[in-house]
Structure 1
Amino acid sequence: MDGNFFLQELAKEDSRIITQIYDKNFPSIKKFILLNSGNTEDAEDIFQKGLIQIIIRYKKEKFTISGSFDAYLIAICKNLWRRELNSHKKRVTNVEKVEVHDEYIDNSYALIEQKRQELFIEKFAEITGNCKEILTLFFAKTPYEEIVAKTEYSSELVVRQRVFKCKKRLTELIKKDKRYNSLKEL
């Protein structure tokens, strides 16, 4: 079953599919959140927000997923959790000040983040195989000496130069896309 099957079934709010998605994906989302300053309740909230976000967006836009639904959902949940952590950093804990939490604003940011991720994935697929390999290792925070060992490059300096050129190429592709200006940071 491809990702688009799950989108369609989620839009129907099929409880069997939701349970299947939960059973398959919640453990990895929970593990990520527990390893990043969260608890089980946080993981449950983020997972639910992620699913709701996907359902709302699919009903509104009928988009498709080119890859795995599981990877898409996990990426959304990770992004939601990172945003949650960042918002806690910015909050001032002062008895006299109360921060108003607007769910609509959260959902808007999440939608923009999803679209950014989709643009990134689409453009990442357009770069050469060699660049994909080296950037995948780089984004996974693989040390340069390991990248040298796993590739045909002769030194860390050559790897650093190649990473720079590949990142530059990927950035150019993203910036040339007509969607870029509407998705860049405000």
Structure 2
Amino acid sequence: MSKPVNKSVPTDSEAILGILNNSEQMLKRLYAAYFPMILQLVLNNNGSQDDAKDIYQEAIIVLYNKVKAGNFELSSKLKTFIYSVCRRLWLKRLTYNSRYATSDIKDYQEYLPVEEEVDDHAERSLQFDKMQVAMEQLGEPCRTIIDDFYIQNKSMAEICERFGYTNADNAKTQKYKCLQRLKKLFFQQ
């Protein structure tokens, strides 16, 4: 018999401990407790429910990474921290999408100015998205060569054999050309 999910709002220390222990139940409790305020924030500021879900998920990833790093000190209520991170991420997205010209945002909760780590997370996320688009535009065999070498960690000898190059140096030259094309596609965005 499965244990029922505790729907109550967790204390901040329970939430942090749950995150440290990779508790899926705790993530569900956090979602039930705090997503509605993020949904209201996003809907009140030119967003959709899907936007709110994306922003909330990104904020939880920021929280998770900070907690797992071991140096997370909560200087406010967890609710305020999550709201502040979501607010900052939503402002960044609005600015990026040019749907909003100023940094005015309709708030109904207290918020904290959050650290540059949120900006760094948003920037990394943007860079990953750009790289994914560039990889999709790259075409074959370059996409597979880049994936095999950098993601699958295959050796040049394995790549040489897979694509029928006469030697590893030819495969290396092809990989270099593919990498140059990928860089060009990435920076054209």
Q: TM-score range by the shorter chain?
A: 0.3 to 0.5
Of the two structures, which has the highest relative contact order with CA contacts closer than 8 Å and spacing of 6 or more? 1
TM-score, normalised relative to structure 1 = 0.47
